[in-house]
C-alpha cells in the first residue's frame, strides 16, 4: 500500500524537473547553438493551427497591448509570445508529469516488484514517458528550428538525452516519494505511527533537496544563458551603432518642405530601431551573409546563384523611401513604419536569368519556411519592385530579413518575404503563407489616415485667434494622397495642410490648426487618394483585407 497523492506530487515534481531542464536547454542554445524546443514548439503551433485561431490570438494580444498601454505593439507582442511559449512548455511538462504520476500510482501494485537490474520500475516508466513526449517534440524541432547551428545529429542526441532525463528524473523522484506505508497499524496505536512520521520527514527532506537543486539549476542556467544572449545582442547593437554614425539620414528628399509636422506626430522617417517587426517565429532568423546565396531557377534559360556581393556590385543600386504596413495593423496602430530601402531592381536581375515565355509567376521562398508568389506581369510593369539588401543605408538587420528581402509597392507586408533564399519561375500561381491562412490574395494597401496628436500645449495665435495644432499621417500605398480633412465633434470636414512626402510610396504628414474651444472634443480624420478615390470610411476589421474606418481621438482642452 502506497499513499502518494499523485496529482499534487505530479504537478510539483513536473515543475521541479521541467523548469531546470528548460533553463539547461536555453543555456545549451546560447553556448552550443542547440535548439530551444519551447520556442520551436510554439512556432510550430503557429504554423499548423487554423489561420482564424491564430488571427484571434494575435488580435486579442494587440488589443491587450493597446488597452494596457504596453508600449510599441510588435516588440511587446514578441515578448508576450516568448512568455506564452515558455508558459506553454512548462505547462506541458507539468501536465505530462501529472499523468505519469497518476499512471504510476494506478498500477503501483504491479510494478512494486519489477525492476531491471538496479533500475526500479518507476524510472523505467519515466524513461518511456520521456521518449513518448520527446519524440514528437524532437521531430517538431527538427522541422521548424532554423536558428540552431549545431549538427542535426548532435541536436537530436542532445534533445533525446534531455527528454529521457526529464522522464527518468520524474520516475526516480516517484520511487523516492512513494514510500510504503505499514499496512497493519498495531492495534490501539495513534494514527501517527513512527513509520509514517519517518516517511513524512523523508518526503519533506527529499522535496527540500530536490526543490533547492531545481531552483539553483534554473536560476543559474537561465541567468548565464541570458547574460550570453545579452552580450551577443550588445555586440550586434554596437556594430549597428558604429555603422549608423555615417548614415543617419541627412538630406532627406523633402528637406525644406513648407509644412512642418506638429510635435508629437510620429517621426516621418522611422528610426531603424523603432521599425515595427512581424514574422512567424518567436525569434528572428540569423543567416550567415557569407555563405548565403540567392538561387533563381525554374523556367529560366540560365539558373543563377548570386551572393550578396554579386547583388551589390553587379546591379545598379536603387534607393526608395518606403512606408511598409502590416495587414494586421489596426486603424491608428503602430504596425507601420518608414525607412529608406536599397536594392537591385528585380526586372534587371531576372533579365540575367532569361525568363521563358511560358512563365507567369515567381515563387519566393524564405529560410524560415515563409513563401509568397508574385505575378510576372507585375514585375515586368514595375521596375520599383526590388530585391533589397539595405535599410537606412546599412545591411538589413537580422530581424528585418538579412541578407535579402523583396519590396513590392502598394502591397501589405505579408506579400513581401524577408530572408529570401529562392526565386522559382513558374507557369502557375500558388497561395502564399498568409493567403493559405485566409488573408487577402492581393493584399493591396488600404488608404488610411490617423490623428497622432492634438497638441494642446502648443496653442498658438493666428490672426487674433488661438489655434491648437493637430497632426498625423495619411497613407494609401503607392497611390499617393491628395487631400486630408479633419472634422471636430462631427462637424464639417475641413482640409488640413499636407507636407510634401519623402516619396510617392511613403505616408504623408498632415497638419491642421483648429480654432481653440475649451472642453472635451473628438477629432476625426479622413483622406483622399491622388486619383480622387476617397478613403473607405466604414469600419472593417484587419482580416482579411486590411482595416478600414475613420480614426478618432478625444481630448479635453
Ligand atoms: N520570411 C518572412 N518574411 C516575412 C514575414 C515572415 O514571417 N517571414 N512576415 C511578413 C509580414 S506579415 C510583414 S508585415 C513584414 C514585416 O517586415 P518587418 O518585420 O521588417 O517590419 O514582413 C513580411 N515578410
Ligand atoms: Mo504583416
Q: Is the pLDDT of residue 193 over 70?
A: no
Q: Is the pLDDT of residue 196 over 50?
A: no
CA atoms within 13 A on the CB side of 477: 21
Ligand 1 atom closest to residue 280's alpha carbon, by position in its atom list: 7
Instruction: Kindly give the distance from the C-alpha atom of residue 325 to the centroid of ligand 2, in angstroms, as a whole number.
Output: 7
**Nearest CA owner, ligand 1 atom 10:** 414
Give the E-state strand segments of 167-309 in sequence order.
294-298, 304-306
- pLDDT one-digit tens code per residue, 380-390: 999 999 999 99
Q: Is the pLDDT of residue 512 over 70?
A: yes
- Mean pLDDT on 204-225: 95
Q: In the structure grid, which three cell numbers stand for residue 511, read together?
A: 497638419
So what's the pLDDT on residue 195?
Answer: 44
So what's the pLDDT on residue 2?
Answer: 58
Ligand 1 atom closest to residue 418's alpha carbon, by position in its atom list: 3
Instruction: Kindly give the distance from the C-alpha atom of residue 46 to the centroid of ligand 2, in angstroms, as a whole number.
Output: 14
- From 328, 418, 419, 433, the mutation candidate for ligand 1 (largest count of ligand atoms within 8 A of CB) is 418
**Nearest CA owner, ligand 1 atom 6:** 279
**Nearest CA owner, ligand 1 atom 20:** 400
So what's the pLDDT on residue 413?
Answer: 98
Q: Is the pLDDT of residue 189 over 80?
A: no
Using CB atoms within 10 Å of the CB of residue 288, give its burial: 0 to 12 exposed, 13 to 18 middle, 19+ buried. Answer: exposed
d(CA 108, CA 6): 11
Q: How confident is the model at residue 183 (pLDDT cuts 50, 70, 90)?
A: low
Cβ atoms of 387 and 311 closer than 8 Å: yes
Spatial CA neighbour of 452 closest among 523, 515, 521: 523
Which of residues 317 and 197 earns the better pLDDT score?
317
So what's the pLDDT on residue 241?
Answer: 76
Ligand 1 atom closest to residue 277's alpha carbon, by position in its atom list: 19
Helix axes 37-48, 121-144, angle to 10 degrees: 60
Closest listed ligand to the CA of 432: 1
- pLDDT one-digit tens code per residue, 85-107: 999 999 999 999 999 999 999 98
Closest listed ligand to the CA of 281: 1
So what's the pLDDT on residue 238?
Answer: 81
d(CA 374, CA 532): 28
Spatial CA neighbour of 171 closest among 217, 119, 209: 119
- From 285, 369, 413, the mutation candidate for ligand 1 (largest count of ligand atoms within 8 A of CB) is 413
Pocket of ligand 1 (CB under 6 A): 275-280, 324, 326, 366, 368, 370, 400-401, 413-414, 416-419
Ligand 1 atom closest to residue 400's alpha carbon, by position in its atom list: 20
- Number of neighbouring beta carbons within 10 Å of residue 398: 17
Spatial CA neighbour of 284 closest among 439, 397, 451: 397
Instruction: Kindly give the distance from the C-alpha atom of residue 328 to the centroid of ligand 2, in angstroms, as a whole number.
Output: 6
Beta strand 294-298 pairing with 420-426? parallel
Burial 416-438 (b: 16+ CB within 10 A, else e): bbbbbbbbbbbeeeeebbbbebe
Terminal C-alpha separation, the chain: 75
Q: Please give the share of the chain, as a percent, with pLDDT higher than 70.
A: 94
What mean pLDDT is reported for the chain? 92
So what's the pLDDT on residue 184?
Answer: 53
Spatial CA neighbour of 473 closest among 553, 407, 391, 377: 553
- pLDDT one-digit tens code per residue, 327-379: 999 999 999 999 999 999 999 999 999 999 999 999 999 999 999 999 999 99
Q: Is the pLDDT of residue 518 over 80?
A: yes
- From 416, 434, 436, 543, the mutation candidate for ligand 1 (largest count of ligand atoms within 8 A of CB) is 416
User: Averaging pLDDT over each range in 40-54, 245-259, 488-502, which range is the top one?
Assistant: 488-502
Ligand 1 atom closest to residue 401's alpha carbon, by position in its atom list: 20
Amino acid at each position: 500500500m502506497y499513499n502518494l497523492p499523485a496529482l499534487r506530487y505530479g504537478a510539483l515534481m513536473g515543475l521541479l524537473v521541467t523548469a531546470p531542464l528548460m533553463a539547461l536547454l536555453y543555456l545549451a542554445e546560447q553556448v552550443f547553438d542547440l535548439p530551444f524546443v519551447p520556442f520551436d514548439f510554439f512556432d510550430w503551433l503557429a504554423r499548423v493551427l487554423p489561420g482564424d485561431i491564430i488571427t484571434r490570438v494575435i488580435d486579442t494580444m494587440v488589443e491587450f497591448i493597446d488597452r494596457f498601454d504596453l508600449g510599441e505593439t510588435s516588440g511587446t507582442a514578441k515578448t508576450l509570445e516568448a512568455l506564452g511559449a515558455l508558459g506553454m512548455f512548462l505547462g506541458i511538462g507539468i501536465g505530462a508529469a501529472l499523468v505519469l504520476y497518476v499512471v504510476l500510482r494506478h498500477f503501483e501494485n504491479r510494478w512494486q516488484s519489477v525492476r531491471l537490474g538496479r533500475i526500479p520500475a518507476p524510472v523505467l516508466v519515466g524513461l518511456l514517458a520521456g521518449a513518448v513526449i520527446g519524440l514528437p517534440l524532437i521531430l517538431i524541432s527538427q522541422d521548424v528550428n532554423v536558428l540552431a547551428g549545431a549538427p542535426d545529429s548532435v541536436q537530436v542526441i542532445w534533445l533525446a538525452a534531455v527528454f529521457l532525463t526529464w522522464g527518468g528524473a520524474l520516475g526516480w523522484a516517484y520511487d523516492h516519494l512513494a514510500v510504503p506505508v505499514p499496512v497493519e497499524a498495531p492495534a490501539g496505536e495513534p494514527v501517527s505511527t513512527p513509520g509514517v512520521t519517518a516517511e513524512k520527514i523523508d518526503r519533506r527532506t527529499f522535496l527540500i533537496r530536490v526543490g533547492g537543486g531545481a531552483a539553483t539549476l534554473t536560476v543559474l542556467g537561465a541567468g548565464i544563458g541570458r547574460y550570453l544572449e545579452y552580450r551577443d545582442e550588445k555586440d550586434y547593437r554596437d556594430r549597428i551603432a558604429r555603422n549608423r554614425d555615417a548614415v543617419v539620414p541627412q538630406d532627406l528628399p523633402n528637406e525644406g518642405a513648407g509644412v512642418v509636422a506638429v510635435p508629437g506626430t510620429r517621426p516621418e522617417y522611422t528610426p531603424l530601431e523603432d521599425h515595427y517587426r512581424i514574422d512567424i517565429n518567436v525569434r528572428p532568423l540569423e543567416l550567415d551573409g557569407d555563405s548565403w546565396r540567392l538561387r533563381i531557377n525554374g523556367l529560366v534559360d540560365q539558373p543563377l546563384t548570386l551572393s550578396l556581393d554579386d547583388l551589390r556590385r553587379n546591379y545598379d543600386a536603387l534607393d526608395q523611401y518606403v512606408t511598409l504596413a502590416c495587414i494586421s495593423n489596426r486603424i491608428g496602430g503602430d504596425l507601420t513604419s518608414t525607412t529608406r530601402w536599397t536594392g537591385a531592381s528585380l526586372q534587371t536581375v531576372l533579365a540575367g536569368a532569361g525568363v521563358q515565355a511560358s512563365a507567369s509567376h515567381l515563387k519566393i521562398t524564405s529560410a524560415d519556411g515563409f513563401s509568397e508568389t508574385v505575378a510576372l506581369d507585375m514585375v515586368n510593369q514595375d521596375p520599383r519592385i526590388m530585391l533589397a539588401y539595405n535599410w537606412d543605408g546599412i545591411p538589413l538587420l537580422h530581424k528585418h530579413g538579412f541578407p535579402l528581402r523583396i519590396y513590392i509597392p502598394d502591397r501589405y507586408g505579408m506579400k513581401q518575404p524577408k530572408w529570401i533564399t529562392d526565386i522559382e519561375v513558374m507557369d502557375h500561381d500558388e497561395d502564399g503563407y498568409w493567403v493559405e491562412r485566409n488573408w487577402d490574395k492581393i493584399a493591396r494597401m488600404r488608404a488610411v489616415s490617423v490623428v497622432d496628436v492634438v497638441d494642446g500645449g502648443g496653442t498658438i495665435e493666428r490672426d487674433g485667434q488661438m489655434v491648437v495644432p493637430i497632426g498625423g499621417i495619411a497613407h494609401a500605398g503607392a497611390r499617393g494622397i491628395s487631400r486630408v480633412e479633419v472634422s471636430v465633434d462631427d462637424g464639417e470636414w475641413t482640409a488640413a495642410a499636407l507636407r510634401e512626402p519623402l516619396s510617392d510610396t511613403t505616408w504623408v504628414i498632415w497638419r491642421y490648426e483648429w480654432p481653440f474651444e475649451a472642453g472635451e472634443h473628438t477629432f476625426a480624420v479622413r483622406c483622399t487618394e491622388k486619383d480622387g478615390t476617397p478613403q473607405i470610411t466604414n469600419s472593417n476589421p484587419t482580416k482579411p483585407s486590411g482595416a478600414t474606418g475613420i480614426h478618432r481621438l478625444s481630448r479635453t482642452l
